[in-house]
Amino acid sequence: MSDLKRTALYDLHIELGGKLVPFAGYEMPVQYPMGVLKEHLHTRAAAGLFDVSHMGQILMTAKSGRVEDAALALETLVPVDVLGLKEGRQRYALFTDEDGGILDDLMVANRGDHLFLVVNAACKDHDFAHLKTHLGATCDLGMVTDRALLALQGPAAEMALARLVPDVVDLKFMDVAIRQWDSAELWISRSGYTGEDGFEISVPEKFATSFARRLLAMDEVAPIGLGARDSLRLEAGMCLYGHDIDTTTSPVEGNLTWAIQKARRAGGVREGGFPGAARILAELADGPSRRRVGLRPEGRAPMREGTELFAGTEGGNPIGRITSGGFGPSIEGPMAMGYLPADLTEGTVVYAELRGKRLPAVIAPMPFQPNQYKR
Amino acid sequence: MKYTEDHEWLRVEGDLVVVGITAHASEQLGDVVFVELPDVGTTVSKGDEVVVIESVKAASEIAAPLDGEIVEVNPEVADNPGSVNEDPTGAAWFFKMKVADLAALDGLLDEAAYNALIG
């Protein structure tokens, strides 16, 4: 694993007994001695600390100095209302390509005079080059390389973080703020990838381990690996880029139309003007032919990524495919998401072919586990 | 107790052989969330896939360690898959089989050989 990168918390992961695996070019903990199931349940019951330093942190400033210009520039690459994003707020976005596929999903924050983007680890170099190519003439772009990124998630996250940074209690879901801890500047957002209340905290690398240790010393906080991160996000109905969405899926097919605000839709004040607009606006108007849906297998067998879906118990061609699937520890049963013809409604039973057998699964609303955001 | 290279244990009980997976295997699998057992009465050949185990991480299959017939399965382990992690060599046995030839057990690993295998 010599060519794999390590985060600032690598030594701490080893010390905590983390089982490290290659992930998006990094050695990352997939689990700790507690194990995936208990880590998952601990996060929903108390608070989990995740190292997500492999993700890309990008600063984007318009050469004009006006955040509005940075927002308008970014809008040429995403079907999202960035201009309408108020200072101190964050929003989900998608980089689309000319065919209307998804290049990556990301978070965008308005930090007053510039934008702050958090992108997926596996896509970050590509995303940065994409931004440079298209927006480099009008915007200064910087990949942040000296900061770790931690996520503290769960019902006890607020209480735990407030012991170190008391005024985080003032933040609401999707607020962002810069706060001081010791001599470190923390970039905090009240958001996450678990469906729980919680925070994502960018911390200078040289303070990352001491900051993580302070949190882990609290009774409520346990370290959580990528395994539980995946089952938590799937219960929360959230997409994993490269699995549930990619360049072959449009935002409308991906059931992410909620991320496309009115201003960018047909009749909106800044209609279109993003890559793939023709297809995406047409799909918004006419509906897509297929759509990402939630699935609850009727039996206990997990249905995993790649499993083909059929309309009936015998014969026929596949009508869809599972893109993420596994066991949900909090819902105490299997769960999946995948693509199916858009005319199939919730409650419809489809059949997954598992080890030569067709097993029923019902199209179900997501999230599977209710969100607990503090709005 | 005898062992296979696929991390199964076998215990002779009268003229039957009880089969489960080792503690090492259950640790490697992680939290087990689903177990599918074979039908009683199934005739199996050595190497046939007879049990499906799914952990939070992945699906894996358990092969019949010897030729024979499945004569009993353990419904408790299907009802409580987590028992595979809690008590893999005791309560969480998977099935009992009547083997064609008990002497075939002699060709399997003993405890020392299995421990050497998993290092």
What do you get for the CA distance between the two ends of chain B, in Å? 18
How long, in residues, is chain A? 375
Question: Searching chain B, which residue's CA lies closest to the CA of residue A31?
Answer: B30
Model confidence over A42-66: pLDDT tens digits?
999 999 999 999 999 999 999 999 9
Q: Do A215 and A307 belong to one domain?
A: no
HEC letters along A180-197:
EECCEEEEEECCCCCCCC
Interface touch B56/A231, C-beta < 8 Å: yes
Tell me if A375 is assigned to some domain: no
Structural domain boundaries, residue A304:
289-367
Interface touch B34/A355, C-beta < 8 Å: no
Q: Do A267 and A294 belong to one domain?
A: no
Model confidence over A107-129: pLDDT tens digits?
999 999 999 999 999 999 999 99
Q: Where are the alpha helices (DSSP H) in A178-291?
A: 205-216, 226-235, 277-286
Q: Do A141 and A210 belong to one domain?
A: yes
Determine the distance in angstroms separating the CA of B53 from the nearest CA of chain A, rounded to an integer: 9
Which residue numbers of B have CB closer than 8 Å to A's CBs? 30-31, 33-34, 36, 52, 54, 56-59, 82
**Chain B CB contacts of A334 below 8 Å:** 33-34
For B107, the 3-state DSSP assignment is helix
**Strands (DSSP E) along B26-77, which ranges?**
32-36, 43-44, 49-55, 59-63, 68-73
pLDDT at B119 over 90: no
Label residue A25 left, alpha or beta by phi (over 0 means left) and psi (-120 to 50 means alpha): left
A25 Cβ contact list (under 8 Å, min separation 6): A4, A5, A54, A121, A122
Domain's final residue, options A288, A307, A340: A288
Name the pLDDT band for A229 (thresholds 50, 70, 90). Answer: very high
Nearest to B56 among A227, A300, A301 (CB): A227
Q: Do A346 and A275 belong to one domain?
A: no
A316 Cβ contact list (under 8 Å, min separation 6): A310
Nearest to B31 among A36, A300, A304 (CB): A36
Report pLDDT for B57. 84
Q: What Cα–Cα distance (Å) separates residue A67 from each residue in A22, A114, A142, A312, B9?
A: 37, 5, 15, 53, 65
CATH classification of B2-102, choosing from 3.60.20.10, 3.40.50.720, 2.40.50.100, 2.60.40.10? 2.40.50.100
For A201, the 3-state DSSP assignment is strand
ipTM above 0.90, yes or no: no
For chain A, how many structural domains are there in total?
2
User: Which of A212, A231, A221 lies closest to A15, judged by CA?
Assistant: A212
Q: In the Cβ-directed half-sphere of A328, how many Cα atoms lie within 13 Å?
A: 27
pLDDT at A13 over 70: yes
Residue type for A298, please? Answer: E
Domain's final residue, options A233, A260, A288: A288
Q: Do A300 and A361 belong to one domain?
A: yes
Nearest to A327 among B33, B36, B52 (CB): B33
Q: Do A271 and A171 belong to one domain?
A: yes
Tell me if A20 is assigned to some domain: yes
Q: Do A295 and A151 belong to one domain?
A: no
CB A32 within 8 A of CB A17: yes
Q: Is the peptide bond before A367 cis (omega within 30 degrees of 0)?
A: yes
Percentage of the residues of chain A whose pLDDT score is greater than 90? 99
CA A187/CA A345 separation, integer angstroms: 41
CB B32 within 8 A of CB B85: yes
Name the pLDDT band for A2 (thresholds 50, 70, 90). Answer: low
CATH number at residue A303: 2.40.30.110
Chain A interface, best mutation among B33, B34, B37, B53, by max A CB count within 10 A: B33
Interface touch A301/B31, C-beta < 8 Å: no
Nearest to B31 among A37, A334, A355 (CB): A37
Q: Do A304 and A253 belong to one domain?
A: no
Model confidence over B23-81: pLDDT tens digits?
999 999 999 999 999 999 999 999 999 999 999 988 899 999 999 999 999 999 999 99
Q: Do A284 and A337 belong to one domain?
A: no
Q: Do A271 and A296 belong to one domain?
A: no
Mean pLDDT of the residues in chain B: 95
What do you get for the CA distance between the two ends of chain A, in Å? 42
User: Which of A187, A171, A201, A191 lies closest to A93, judged by CA?
Assistant: A191
Q: Do A31 and A171 belong to one domain?
A: yes
